[in-house]
Chains A and B, each alone.
Chain A
Amino acid sequence: MSRRQAGPPGEPRRIAYVYIAPALLVFGLFFLTPLVHAVWLSLYEWDGLSVGRWVGLDNYRLVLTDDALREPFLHALTLIVFFSIIPCALGLALASMITRSAVRGVNFFRTVLFLPQVVALVVVAVAWRQIFAPDGPLNDFLRTVGLGDVARGWLGDERYALICIGVVGIWVCTGLCVVLFLAGLSKVPRELYEAARLDGAGPIREFITISVPAVRGELAVALTLTLVAAMRTFDLVYVMTSGGPGTSSRVPAYEVWDRAINKGQVGVGVTIALVLTAFILLCTVLINRLSESADS
């Protein structure tokens, strides 16, 4: 890196700090301080009212060993499949299909696909809750096509509640992926595809050799965004199932809210939030590393 040897601007260092001081101040005040404060809180057993009791790393031990607290994290992993992996795969397929066949009115479809991203998640949750209701459109449809036996109160079934939330995740996240990948694919010169076709490549071969490598950067972005969306899912669970039935759709973000606000276990709640943050950080670093190493 040659930046360090470079002379002015930015030398001497002290001057440089003056330039970034406002940004540092904001960062320190609004991002660093709360984080440090959270770490500090996580070392206490505190009900939010009376004096907290120092418990050291007990909260962390609890979060990592308690079955009731591990379950939400497992659910979050399940949601990653629905929010991240499926939408990315679907998005890639849709985007390359749209690019290949030069659909008329592609902008219209792009907008429609992106729309779920724009709607507030609480609204999305209310709408889907009605779709999944025992007398809702989904069951009506199943009954009309003669699958009445399959119809059920979807969100009230321990086996399906989490999957239903996942399905909404697919609906929300796919559009974002498609739009990202379309942008990535539009950078690929037409000639590349023509050359590949002259060499006898079919659609699948084209997809694997040209399209996928071309959108690697976008894939990293899409994976990061959707993964974060999956891990911090709260609104959908809060409105659609309140973590139920039983505990079958409790997720870490819901647990944070429940512990800290409802039950007066601020320490445990904050610890879950920190563990979640660490996990998300780890995932994003990992994704970035992978996409960078693929670049070189």
Chain B
Amino acid sequence: MTSRRTRWAGAATVAALLFASACAPGSDNKKDSDEPANVKTDVAKMGKLTLTVWDQEVRGGQAEQIAALNKQFMDKYPNVTIKRVSRSFDDLRKTLRLAITDDKAPDVVQANNGRSDMGQFVKAGLLRSLEPYNKAYKWSDRYPESVRALASYTEDGKTFGAGNLYGLPQAGELVGLWYNKAKLSKLGIEVPTTLTDFEAALAKAKQAGETPIQFGNLDAWPGIHTFGFVQNQFVPRDDIRNLGFGRKGASWTSAENEKAATTFADWVKKGYFTKDFNGLGYDPAWQDFAKGKGVFLPAGTWLLADLKKALGDDLGFALPPVGDSGKQAVTGGTGLPFAITEASKHADAAGAYINFITSPEAMKLIAKAGNLPVTDVDSAGTTGAQKEVFDAWTKATGDDALVPYLDYATPDFYDLLTAQVQKLGSGSEKPKSFLDNLEKEYTTFTASNGG
């Protein structure tokens, strides 16, 4: 018995020690705002320093492009060494939380825009407001309001889409309508720009024995994009914005949203989507489209390189059709914004670095690498689907048509919305109860958030 008692005594001691230390997990990172009144912009005069940058630009063209920019920056300012740590998006998300709370946090990090990442970082006081740099480098002239909103929070992290700028992205992305040009001409359909045209095209494609809309929702998150694509056509963009940013002032149970949910369910019933889409993965779905199955594919511009390789000149891209709302709206956003950590000792150099990698010259490099730059998009010199993507981005940002991803709304909204769209698609949730469930979470959150 002695040994057992001693063991428990030992465990109890460990426990007691931990409790005695009586500190809550995490530490208070909130510091007094020590933003310098004057931002230093002359990097050459900052002395020898090392900037640690965490990015997730690991795929093909992105990796080359950021490596080239880093090299250019170091060539221009020999006193600065850039230490680059690159990870895939998933890995970055998982490790960033630990890294950013560390005393030796990286200087520049690429942080996901949503409430569960950037929002929480801002709330915990782990990121610097970029407003001083915004003023110094005149970013507001280069970046349209709708793009800056996607990386803006109030200082308490409660309001998304307004307040201070906390990050600056390099790339843009849109969830628009990919289509197969060969199939359209075979079916005798023009590229649909209105809901009426689109529904007529879907009916015609269905009749011809084609899969009108290629869709795979086994991974659950594509449902956010596809439902958003339908919603874009019915709900006024300011309403979608409020819903997406989790602000008061809109309602999921509005007549327009009801129309959107009913239409989505209706299209499922009419067989406009891929059969058994809830059991089909995202990758197999777009790969099927790339192989020539399906007429339309509502999906992100990040598929450009892959789809173009497979479909070549048959690939087309358009903004979502305009429906009852009467105004163009398109779900879109930016690549992960680059932000400066509160712990960074070289914030001014970090600001200059961010300015450098988002400069008009940098944007040219990004376009050359086959990606969609967030500003200074120049479609001259591009052809085919890439030109259509670039033009769509210019039009959407110029027209202020960009609306945020719907799962940004509340910390729990991703799980809720993905599950609900799957259920709406399978028919186990009716449009009315689908919207009621979303409304419940939305209003509960906005009430508690006071936003």
A50–B26 contact, CB under 8 A? yes
- A13 on the interface (CB 8 Å rule)? yes
Q: Which residues of B contact A50 (CB under 8 A)?
A: 26, 28-30, 120, 123-125
A44–B422 contact, CB under 8 A? no
B24–A153 contact, CB under 8 A? no
Q: How distant is the Cα of A46 from the Cα of B179 in the complex, in angstroms?
A: 46
- A152 on the interface (CB 8 Å rule)? yes
B116, B278, B418, B426 — most chain A CB neighbours (10 Å): B278
A158–B25 contact, CB under 8 A? no
Given A32-B11, A46-B26, A244-B422, CB of A153 within 8 Å of CB of B278: yes
B123–A263 contact, CB under 8 A? no
- B363 on the interface (CB 8 Å rule)? no
Q: Which residues of A contact B100 (CB under 8 A)?
A: 49
A244–B120 contact, CB under 8 A? no
Chain B: interface residue total (CB-CB under 8 A): 52
Q: Which residues of A contact B3 (CB under 8 A)?
A: 13
Given A40-B19, A258-B415, CB of A33 within 8 Å of CB of B25: no
Minimum Cβ distance to chain A for residue B28 (Å):
5
Q: Of residues 116 to 156 in B, which have CB atoms within 8 Å of A's CB atoms?
A: 116, 120-121, 123-126
- B208 on the interface (CB 8 Å rule)? no
Given A40-B18, A262-B116, CB of A156 within 8 Å of CB of B94: no
Contact of B280 among A40, A133, A258 (CB under 8 A): A133
Q: How distant is the Cα of A36 from the Cα of B428 in the complex, in angstroms?
A: 43
Contact of B220 among A242, A263, A266 (CB under 8 A): A242
Given A153-B279, A262-B116, A264-B120, CB of A245 within 8 Å of CB of B426: yes
Q: Which residues of A contact B170 (CB under 8 A)?
A: none
Q: How distant is the Cα of A4 from the Cα of B332 in the complex, in angstroms?
A: 72
Q: Which residues of A contact B11 (CB under 8 A)?
A: 32, 36
Q: How distant is the Cα of A153 from the Cα of B24 in the complex, in angstroms?
A: 47
Minimum Cβ distance to chain B for residue A75 (Å):
14
Chain A: interface residue total (CB-CB under 8 A): 43
Q: Of residues 5 to 44 in A, which have CB atoms within 8 Å of B's CB atoms?
A: 13, 28, 32-33, 36-37, 39-41, 44
A53–B24 contact, CB under 8 A? yes
- Per-residue CB contact flags for chain B residues 89-122 toward chain A (1 = under 8 Å, else 0) read 0000110010011000000000000001000110
- Per-residue CB contact flags for chain B residues 257-293 toward chain A (1 = under 8 Å, else 0) read 0000000000000000011111111001000000000
Query: By DSSP majority rule, is chain B's interface helix, strand, loop, or mixed?
Result: helix
- B346 on the interface (CB 8 Å rule)? no
Q: Which residues of A contact B429 (CB under 8 A)?
A: 246
- B27 on the interface (CB 8 Å rule)? yes
User: Can you name the residue of chain A whose Cβ is closest to the Cβ of B119?
Assistant: A264
Q: Of residues 216 to 266 in A, which have CB atoms within 8 Å of B's CB atoms?
A: 241-247, 258, 261-264, 266
Q: Which residues of B contact A262 (CB under 8 A)?
A: 116, 414
Q: Which residues of A contact B412 (CB under 8 A)?
A: 263
Given A44-B24, A157-B426, CB of A263 within 8 Å of CB of B14: no
Q: Which residues of B contact A261 (CB under 8 A)?
A: 93-94
Q: Which residues of B contact A134 (CB under 8 A)?
A: 274-276, 279-280
- A140 on the interface (CB 8 Å rule)? no
- A48 on the interface (CB 8 Å rule)? yes
Minimum Cβ distance to chain B for residue A258 (Å):
7
Given A49-B120, A50-B26, CB of A129 within 8 Å of CB of B281: yes
Q: How distant is the Cα of A51 from the Cα of B26 in the complex, in angstroms?
A: 5
Contact of B15 among A36, A49, A154, A157 (CB under 8 A): A36
Q: Which residues of A contact B392 (CB under 8 A)?
A: none
Q: Of residues 406 to 433 in B, which have CB atoms within 8 Å of A's CB atoms?
A: 411-412, 414-415, 418-420, 422-423, 426, 428-429
Q: How distant is the Cα of A296 from the Cα of B123 in the complex, in angstroms?
A: 61
B124–A47 contact, CB under 8 A? yes
Contact of B218 among A32, A48, A155 (CB under 8 A): A155
- A56 on the interface (CB 8 Å rule)? no
User: Can you name the residue of chain A whose Cβ is closest to the Cβ of B27?
Assistant: A51
Q: Which residues of B contact A203 (CB under 8 A)?
A: none
- A54 on the interface (CB 8 Å rule)? yes
Q: Which residues of B contact A133 (CB under 8 A)?
A: 279-281, 284
Q: How distant is the Cα of A135 from the Cα of B420 in the complex, in angstroms?
A: 24
Q: Of residues 149 to 164 in A, which have CB atoms within 8 Å of B's CB atoms?
A: 152-158
User: Can you name the residue of chain A whose Cβ is closest to the Cβ of B423?
Assistant: A246
- A132 on the interface (CB 8 Å rule)? yes
- A137 on the interface (CB 8 Å rule)? no
Minimum Cβ distance to chain B for residue A42 (Å):
11
Given A13-B2, A157-B426, A264-B120, CB of A48 within 8 Å of CB of B26: yes
A51–B24 contact, CB under 8 A? yes
B26–A49 contact, CB under 8 A? yes
B276–A44 contact, CB under 8 A? no
Q: How distant is the Cα of A53 from the Cα of B24 in the complex, in angstroms?
A: 7
Q: Of residues 7 to 60 in B, which have CB atoms within 8 Å of A's CB atoms?
A: 10-11, 14-15, 18-19, 24-30
Q: Which residues of B contact A158 (CB under 8 A)?
A: 423, 426, 428
Q: How distant is the Cα of A94 from the Cα of B93 in the complex, in angstroms?
A: 46
Minimum Cβ distance to chain B for residue A264 (Å):
6
B279–A28 contact, CB under 8 A? no
User: Can you name the residue of chain A whose Cβ is closest to the Cβ of B17?
Assistant: A36
Minimum Cβ distance to chain A for residue B168 (Å):
22
Q: Which residues of A contact B121 (CB under 8 A)?
A: 49
User: Can you name the residue of chain A whose Cβ is closest to the Cβ of B279?
Assistant: A153
User: Can you name the residue of chain B whose Cβ is closest to the Cβ of A53?
Assistant: B24
Contact of B279 among A53, A157, A243, A258 (CB under 8 A): A157
Q: Which residues of B contact A54 (CB under 8 A)?
A: 24
Minimum Cβ distance to chain B for residue A182 (Å):
37
Binding site for A on B (CB under 8 A): 2-3, 10-11, 14-15, 18-19, 24-30, 93-94, 97, 100-101, 116, 120-121, 123-126, 217-220, 274-281, 284, 411-412, 414-415, 418-420, 422-423, 426, 428-429
Q: List 19 A-B contacts (CB under 8 A).
A: A28-B10, A33-B14, A36-B14, A36-B18, A46-B24, A49-B100, A129-B281, A133-B279, A133-B280, A133-B284, A134-B279, A156-B218, A156-B280, A156-B426, A157-B426, A158-B426, A242-B219, A245-B426, A261-B94
In addition to A133-B284, A155-B279, 15 A-B residue pairs with Cβ atoms within 8 Å of each other are A41-B25, A47-B26, A48-B26, A50-B28, A133-B281, A153-B278, A158-B428, A241-B218, A242-B418, A244-B278, A245-B217, A247-B419, A262-B414, A264-B97, A264-B116
